[in-house]
Amino acid sequence: MPTKKTVRTLSKKTTEHEFYTSIPKGYRVGRTKYIIIMGSVMSGVGKGTFSASLGNLLTTLHGFKVSPIKFDGYLNYDAGTLNPYRHGEVFVLDDGTECDLDLGSYERMIKKGLTKSSYLTGGKIFKDLIDKERAGKFLGRDVQFIPHVTGEIKGFLRKLAVESDADIVMVEVGGTIGDIENAYFIEAMRELAYEEGKENVCFVNVTYIIEPKSLGEQKSKAAQLGIRNLMSLGIQPNLIVCRSHNPIREKIKEKISIYSNVPVERVIGLSNMESIYHIPLNLMQKGVDKSIMEILNLKSRKNGSKEFDSWVKLTKMIESAKKTVEVGITGKYTEVHDSYISILKALEHSAPYEDAKVNVRWVETSKITVKNVSEKLKGLDGIIVPGGFGSRGAEGKIECIRYAREHDIPYFGLCLGFQMAVIEYARHICGMKKANSTEIDSNCKQDVICILPEQEEIEELGGTMRLGGHDVVVKKGTQAYKLYGKGLVRERFRHRFNVNTTCIETLEKHGMVFSGMAPKKRIMQILELPKNRFHIGVQFHPEFTSRPLEPNPLYLGFIRAMLDKKRR
């Protein structure tokens, strides 16, 4: 372990030293342990799910305080402007940070609200460095990848450790070993282990064991080469997780062990499972938690075991659920299911509390018309119109909402789905035939949905929307109040447009109830139709605050409404 003198030397930022790293006030080497999770062979191998599940196990069973962080090598400052087709869902934290969907997995599995300190991109690192250089912070030094870029990264992690008072900082490195865009980050992790001491840093490599159909057997060569690549960068993995379609054979584990200098008992097979909620239990059964605690010289605190019992109970509820409902998710990114991953997870973990399972039918709204809507939605127990931007598929969404309203099919509108429900009602009930949103038609004559006043002068796209957690005042006597059980709730937002205040009175006069709004502002945030079984739209994203052990009340209400429809 480095001495205090070594740590002081590492933080020198003068031309006399080659070190450059930030040691935050109050930081003690060894107080916080680090788990570094990297992938090889291919991206999308399941690092995020593994990381979240491991965090769940360490918190709920062993009582450790875990702070996760995700690094993305993109030069984007954050995930706010990324296309869902390319990157999946943009998850929003309470502080307004637009980030990778893996942070949603962390929050759900660890049951902990995260902040901007848990998300780092290449763009953020370089912008911060350039800002410091322009301000003359480097005392005449030439700014380099080593030690400056790597030093900034290590400082970011240590700052998170101090701010969160973490026992363990769990770092997920996006992409795969060999990517140019994350090479400097991996180097920073090597340096971190050198500075913190090997007993304080555990490296986990999540690799993939391929199984070509033409061969009918598992092949480990790609995994071996990926691990060897990691070792060539100066990093010796402590634990290797082998993802696969089918359970891996013992011979595969032995090959990986020999190639990586990792004991065979620390080469863990993790094949596809029916439910991600079983993964923490699976990791426990394979001793992953014990191996990591041995590597980091940690002892279980046992004060989280009651919560782990609740998690085990949830998995049993999932297994034993007897009822089934079919939900139609009617959007325009339906080809990439990760675009709506938080919605899927909120449905998955809410349904078991009503002894149910959810089957999802994907409905591409750009292909929905007045003539085929009944055929496309036939047999559905409920309909969701999720969030999104732009005009493509908008008319199809409006037809789906109209069909749900007229046939009393439970409807749940999320963000854009709230706005589309307002347009549908204005057109077909209020007689405003040309009602629309200025986002869809900037010259529309009846703009029932318009841009928020504070958004009118904003020209940039990144990080400029109404973002993050905001309070919602819920009106007594409404369905929303009954579901929440209280008059003030906090939900997460990501939008620019809202209900035109000049149209609110007309909509209410014709039967629409705005059951939630912003405190002290005429920003409508929840709508409902009292005559329908469940016809609710929300301007926020309740899926972002839904947790497996604490489902969002609106999702529970939606599940109950669908079951009620089936019973009747």
**Active-site option among 202, 400, 415, 503:** 415
Three-state helix/strand/coil letters over 88-106: CCCEECCCCCEECCHHHHH
Q: Is 17 one of the annotated active-site residues of the chain?
A: no
Total residue count of the chain as it appears in this document: 568
Cis amide prior to 147 (ω within 30 degrees): yes
CB atoms within 10 A of CB 364: 15
Residue 240 tokens read as 């290797």
Phi, psi dihedrals of residue 502, rounded to the nearest 5°: -75, -10
The gap from C-alpha 481 to its chain's centroid, in whole angstroms, comes to 27
Residue 100 tokens read as 């990778």
Measured between its terminal Cα atoms, the distance across the chain in Å is 67
- Describe the strand order of the beta sheet including 356-364 as a list of residue ranges: 356-364, 323-331, 382-385, 411-414, 535-538, 524-528, 513-517, 466-474, 488-495
Number of DSSP helices (H) and strands (E) in the chain, helices first: 19, 21
User: Which amino acid, residue 492?
Assistant: R
Q: Is 450 one of the annotated active-site residues of the chain?
A: no
Quote the CA–CA distance of 469 and 92 in Å, as a whole number.
9
Cβ atoms of residues 495 and 525 within 8 Å: no
Quote the CA–CA distance of 234 and 433 in Å, as a whole number.
67
Instruction: Give how far Cα 415 sits from Cα of 7, 55, 481, 538, Å.
Output: 48, 30, 19, 6
Beta strands in 66-162 (DSSP E): 66-72, 91-92, 98-99, 119-121
Helices 305-320 and 47-60: crossing angle in degrees, nearest 10, is 130
| Closest by Cα among 549, 527, 559 to 540 | 527
Residues in CB range of 543: below 8 A, 6 or more apart:
342, 343, 345, 346, 414, 552, 555
Helices 394-406 and 416-428: crossing angle in degrees, nearest 10, is 70
Largest CA distance in the chain: 79
Q: Is 245 one of the annotated active-site residues of the chain?
A: no
List residues with catalytic annotation: 415, 541, 543
